[in-house]
Each structure stands twice: as C-alpha cells, then as structure tokens.
Amino acid sequence: MPAKILLADDDPMLQKLIANTLKLEHHEVIVAVNGQEALDLIRSEKPDLVILDIMMPVINGFDVCTELRRHPETETLPVIMLSGLGQVQEKIMGLRAGADEYLTKPIDPRELLTRVEMLLERHRILRQSAVGKTGRVLSVLGAKGGVGVTTLAVNLAARLVQEKKNVILLEFRPDFGTVAVHFNLKPTASLAALRTLEPTAITEQMVNRLLVKTETGVRVLCGPQSAGEFGPFAPGLGGALLGRLVTMCDYVIVDLPPLLDEAAELVLKSSEQVFLVIEPELTSVVAAAHRLEQLAALSNTLTTRVIAVNRQGVMLLSLREIENRLGVVLLDVLPSAADAMSVAVQFGVPLTLSQSKHVYSEHVAELAKQLEQSKASALRSRSL
Ligand SMILES: Nc1ncnc2c1ncn2[C@@H]1O[C@H](COP(=O)(O)OP(=O)(O)O)[C@@H](O)[C@H]1O
Ligand SMILES: [Mg+2]
C-alpha cells in the first residue's frame, strides 16, 4: 500500500537515492533538509512514516524524534533513524529517543525499503488492534439556534484536554461553522471536503489531513468556511466519520446544528450522550420538549441530558417550571458570561483556559468531571 513518507536528510545524494527507491514502490516522498523543517512538515503533511538523519542542521534527529514522541498525534508515528557513524552509543540514543528502526550509512536501498514496508505493516496492525479502545462520543445540540451550543462544545473540549484527554471537536454542520473563530483559526480545509464521499472512501489519513491542532491541544474538524462549501452531507458521512474519529482520541465532541438532517441523525445514533442546550425562556423550552421526543424516537440507547445556558443572566422561567414542562431534571444551568465570553472569542482562547476561575469555566469543569465519572460507572456496570 503506497504511503506518504517524510525524508529528513541534508545530503542531496542520499535524498535522491532514498527518494527514488521509495518512489519506485509508489510511495509519496516529502523531503526536509533540516530538523525544524522536518517537524513543520510532519505537522502540516501528516506523513505515515518518517526517515530521520541524525546529523542535521538546526535540530538534530534525536531531538526531532523526542519531540514527536511528546505529542499524542505523533507518538506512534513510525520513525526510522539513519546514522553516519553506526556506533553503539548512538544507536542506543536513537532508540531511547523513540526511533522504531535504526540504519547505518551507507544505506542499502533494498534494506531500507524492506524496513519501511515492515514498519508500515506493523503500524497498520497496531492501529487495528487499537480499535477496541474507542473514544466516547458526546453530541451537543440546541433546542433551537443561538443558545450557546458551540460555545459549550468548544469550552468542554478545551477543559477535557486540560484533564489530559485526547479530544477531537467535530463541527458537524453543512453551512458556516464558527468553531474556527473560537480558536482564532483560518483552516484551509473543512468538513466540506468529505461532503459527498462514499463512507468507505473516508480513511483515517484523509481525516487526519483535515484535523487542525489548536494551541489548546484540541484537534478540530471545522465546518464549512465559505459559502461555496455549503451544502448537505451524504447521509452516511456521520457514521463513517465518527467510526474513524473514535479510534483516534478519547473524546469526540460534536457541535450539531439546529436542523437535524439524516446525516446529523446518524451522528446522534453513534453518540453515547447528548447535551441538549436550552435557554431559561419559554420558546426554547417548548422547542426542547419537541427535541426530547425527536431524540427518544431516534434511539433508545442515547442518554440525553438537558443543560440550560443563562446567557442573559435572567431566569425568565424558573428552574422548577422548566423541569416540570420537560419532565426531566436539568444537569446544570450555566451562568451568564457575556463580557468574558466575547473577550475569549476575540483572543481565540476558550474561556475555560483563558479564565479557568470564571464561574462559567467552573461549571464546565464540573461537567467534564461528571463525564469522566459516568464513564467509570458505565464500565463498572458492564463488568458486573
Ligand atoms: N454563558 C453565556 N453567557 C453569555 N453569552 C453566551 C454564553 N454562552 C454563549 N454565549 C453567546 O451567545 C451567542 C451564541 O452562542 P453560540 O455558542 O454560537 O450558540 P449556538 O451554537 O447555539 O448557535 C454567542 O455570542 C456567545 O458568545
Ligand atoms: Mg453554533
């Protein structure tokens, strides 16, 4: 199977030899001439395997490898190290830095190719066996539009990362997405790239290329970014995409639009929990009652929790009245954070990070904690 391979070596002769060898087997080769460039290209190009020379300008191969192992998205990336010296000490350092293989120059192209193929295959098998460790899917949905769904999804994702979770935020909407604004991102690719694909065409590599790693550590798959990208999703997209995403993280947080088309319904069916967001006022509560019916009809394994966001800082309906009308106990009422929220958005840093002591942030932190606990109890009941 052809793969995308990053080759980091400052020797033009060796570059040519290795690149030609790999290309003969139809691999795509990207070349970096120093360690910094290698790191940058690994981040932007997301190769399947890396070949690293040790002696390179700017950052040496050991440090590049150490750096790769420090980040969740590259900690298992296959790395082959090339050394000019072949001393045992150097080899040990390479393996300590986290290299999977170690080759001494002069390089025999056939040996290199065999190692590349073996390593790619081993990695494929490893990843398949990791499938059992699936991430949890939490969808955030509004009773209607503009109630604070995206804000909650963004802040919850950021908070979970602080709790050392590996989190992907999926903005599953067919029209303009605002998640990018919350993180001050200008993504060059969005979910629109997958819009009309057959479910089987959605590979992990493709998904990886669309994910943007934010400075907060949350990885996001942004909704469409321009009017030209708007349009309905193929119904199968939601299920296929989530099937991929859950193998890549601990949590997938989905920001859903108010209109539930077939694709969004399938996302909900693949979710473990839904946070249904309302405002403490009548129209939103009436809409929420319909939503609850809609969700109950959709799936009987889905846990729905209702959360009110008191954006205006006034409870136009009392908590008791809301709960009576909906026949559920609210999970929480998130406090108003108008000014702080607009500052956070302007700076592109979620409130849970920029002002972790804000009451809104404290409520979100508590929600994150409860999510973790609900997992523990779900696991316990399964093992009973
Ligand atoms: N707790 C809050 N207090 C005050 N304003 C809020 C709060 N949560 C969200 N908002 C504001 O409400 C508006 C709509 O929020 P958004 O999350 O985009 O809603 P939705 O995704 O439901 O359309 C935004 O301007 C946002 O800053
Ligand atoms: Mg929104």
Rounded mean pLDDT, 256-277: 93
Tens digits of per-residue pLDDT, 38-52?
999 999 999 999 999
> Is a pLDDT exceeding 80 seen at residue 29?
yes
CA of 336 to the centre of ligand 1 (A): 9
pLDDT digits (tens, 9 = 90+) for 319-334: 999 999 999 999 999 9
Tens digits of residue pLDDT in 117-149: 989 988 877 776 555 568 999 999 999 999 999
**Ligand 1, atom 9, residue with closest C-alpha:** 148
Q: Check the CA dihedral 355-359-360-361 and report its sign.
A: positive
Do residues 214 and 348 lie in contact, with contact meaning Cβ atoms separated by under 8 Å?
no
Using DSSP, state whether 230 is helix, strand or coil.
coil
Ligand having the closest approach to the CA of 311:
1
CA of 151 from ligand 2 middle (Å) equals 7
- Match domain 4-130 to its CATH number in 3.40.50.2300, 3.30.70.890, 3.90.1300.10, 1.20.1250.20: 3.40.50.2300
3-state secondary structure labels for all residues of 238-270:
HHHHHHHHCCCCCEEEEECCCCCCHHHHHHHHC
- The reply to whether domains 4-130 and 133-383 share a CATH topology is yes
Specify the 3-state DSSP secondary structure of 5.
strand
Domain 133-383 in this protein, CATH class: alpha beta
Entry pTM: 0.69
pLDDT score at 380? 45
Pocket test for ligand 1, best of 311, 333, 347 (most atoms within 8 A of CB): 311
Residue matched to tokens 């609900």: 374
Write the residue with the smallest CA distance to atom 1 of ligand 1: 336
Give the atom of ligand 1 at the shortest distance from the alpha carbon of 335.
Answer: 1
Q: For 165-198, what is each residue's pLDDT tens digit? A: 999 999 999 999 999 999 999 998 899 999 878 7
Q: Taking a C-beta distance cutoff of 8 angstroms, is the pair 179, 169 a contact?
A: yes
Q: Model confidence at 234, in pLDDT bands (50, 70, 90)?
A: confident
Which of these, 295, 292, 227, lies nearest to 267 by C-alpha position? Answer: 295
pLDDT for residue 147: 97
Q: Which two tokens stand for residue 132?
A: 């059992």
Give the sheet arrangement for strand 79-83, strand by strand.
28-32, 4-8, 49-53, 79-83, 101-104
Indicate the top mutation candidate among 140, 144, 151 to test ligand 1's pocket, ranked by most ligand atoms within 8 A of CB: 151
Say yes or no to pLDDT of 88 above 80.
Answer: no
What is the residue extent of each domain of the chain?
4-130, 133-383
Distance from residue 154's CA to the centre of ligand 2 (Å): 10
Higher pLDDT, 359 or 376: 359
Report how far ligand 1's centroid is from the alpha carbon of 145 (Å): 10
Ligand nearest to the CA of 277: 1
For residue 383, the model assigns a pLDDT of: 38
For residue 358, how far is its CA from the centre of ligand 1 (angstroms)?
Answer: 16
What is the CB < 6 Å shell around ligand 1? 142, 145-151, 178, 309, 311, 334, 336-338, 341, 360
